[in-house]
Every structure is written in structure tokens, then in C-alpha cells.
């Protein structure tokens, strides 16, 4: 359900959903989501999103209420140069021994810039920090008690093939404060590198 609060400036959307990124309901408890979008000007938009729901499931039987809040700033999305900033914070309640509960938190912040050149070509760059000390979203593959904490730096290229298709490739360099990656010999390391390419189609 969505409706304007101030015509063409402020819009509120409300959602009743199955759960956190769930197509099929996992626990019969419905979740709540909301989005508040503010069009400050032709080039600037702010939005604030909230998620609230019970996350217990067969995979995570001890999870209970999850609260998540995300903020976004979008600058000049249709222009030659554009930027997006995002920050979010999550809180997961978890059942512990003796009917006590703990509060597990994670958060992230990033900044993305894009520059369009020639026709249908663009380069993108991204800097990000992600902190999940309790492994709510990402479990450290090296089984470290410090959780998953990492910086990443990205440089990418985008080609618009036609109105409903894009080719994208990017190189992403990670640096972890907790040696969350592995080298070619399977040993823990602070550095990781990804190079990913994709073709996106929509109808």
C-alpha cells in the first residue's frame, strides 16, 4: 500500500510480507516493512526503509524479532554524474540458554559514484564498510570469533546494450580486519579480490 503525504514530494509505502527476503513463509509470522521517500529536488532524493519481523525458522530456530533500518541519498540519478550513499543498521534478537535473549547487531555504509561517457557507457566506483561481529548475515569462513568486518573498493564498467539489457563487469578488492578470506592454499588472509561480469535483462 502506497500513498502520497505531500504531492510529488513525500510518499509513504507500507508492506505486509512473509519475512526477510523470503518468497515462501518460513514460520507463519507475517512481517512489516515501510518506505518513506522524500523528493527534495529534481536531483536529490532521500528515503528511509524499515523492516520488522520474527525470523525464527528451521535454519535459525533461536532467532526472534529482527529490526532493520536503511537510509539512502540519491543525487542526480539521470545525469552524466550521479552518486548514491547508503547506510543501514540491523538488530537481531536471539534466544539463549535459560530463556534469556541477546541482541546481535550489524551495520554497513557505502558511497557509489557513476560517470556516463560516450553513448550508453558508464564507469562506476564504490567504497564500502561492513561490520557483522556476531555472524547474523555472514559467517566467517575461517571460524573466527571476531565475526566478519571488511572494507571493499570497487571499479566497474557498464554498457547499455538496449533499453532492457545491460552488460556489467567490476573488480572488487576486499580488506578484512579479521582475516576473513583465504589465499590459494586455504590459509586465512586479510585480502580478497573478485572480478565479476554479468548481463541483466528485464521485461
Residues 28 and 81 in one domain: yes
Taking only the tens place, the pLDDT of each residue in 111-127 is 999 999 988 999 999 99
Grid coordinates in use for 1? Answer: 500500500
Q: What is the pLDDT of residue 159?
A: 94
Residues 98 and 187 in one domain: no
Residues 89 and 126 in one domain: no
pTM: 0.85
Rg of the Cα trace of the chain? 20
Taking only the tens place, the pLDDT of each residue in 46-88 is 999 999 998 888 888 888 899 999 999 999 988 899 999 999 9
Residues 131 and 99 in one domain: no
Grid coordinates in use for 104? Answer: 546481535
Residues 104 and 28 in one domain: yes
Residues 2 and 63 in one domain: yes
Residues 105 and 124 in one domain: no
Contact present, 48 and 70 (Cβ < 8 Å): yes
Q: What is the pLDDT of residue 108?
A: 97
Long-range (24+ apart) CB contacts under 8 A made by 113-119 are: 113/81, 113/82, 113/83, 114/81, 114/82, 114/83, 114/158, 115/80, 115/81, 116/79, 116/80, 116/81, 117/80
Amino acid at each position: 500500500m502506497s500513498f502520497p503525504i505531500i504531492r510529488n514530494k513525500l510518499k509513504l509505502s507500507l508492506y505486509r510480507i512473509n519475512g526477510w527476503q523470503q518468497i515462501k513463509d518460513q514460520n507463519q509470522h507475517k512481517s512489516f516493512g515501510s518506505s518513506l521517500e522524500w523528493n527534495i529536488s529534481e536531483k536529490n532524493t532521500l528515503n528511509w526503509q524499515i523492516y520488522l519481523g520474527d525470523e525464527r525458522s528451521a535454519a535459525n530456530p533461536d532467532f526472534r524479532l529482527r529490526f532493520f533500518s536503511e537510509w539512502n541519498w540519491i543525487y542526480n540519478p539521470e545525469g552524466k554524474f550521479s552518486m548514491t550513499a547508503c547506510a543501514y543498521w540491523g538488530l537481531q534478537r536471539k534466544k539463549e540458554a535459560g530463556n534469556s535473549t541477546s541482541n546481535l547487531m550489524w551495520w554497513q555504509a557505502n558511497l557509489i559514484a557513476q560517470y556516463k561517457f560516450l553513448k550508453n557507457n558508464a564507469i562506476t566506483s564504490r567504497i564500502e564498510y561492513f561490520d557483522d561481529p556476531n555472524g547474523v548475515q555472514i559467517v566467517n569462513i575461517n571460524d573466527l570469533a571476531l565475526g566478519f568486518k571488511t572494507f571493499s573498493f570497487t571499479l566497474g564498467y557498464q554498457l547499455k546494450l538496449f533499453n532492457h539489457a545491460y552488460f556489467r563487469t567490476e573488480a572488487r578488492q576486499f580488506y578484512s580486519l579479521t582475516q576473513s578470506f583465504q589465499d590459494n592454499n586455504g590459509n586465512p588472509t586479510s585480502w580478497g579480490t573478485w572480478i565479476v561480469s554479468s548481463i541483466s535483462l528485464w521485461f
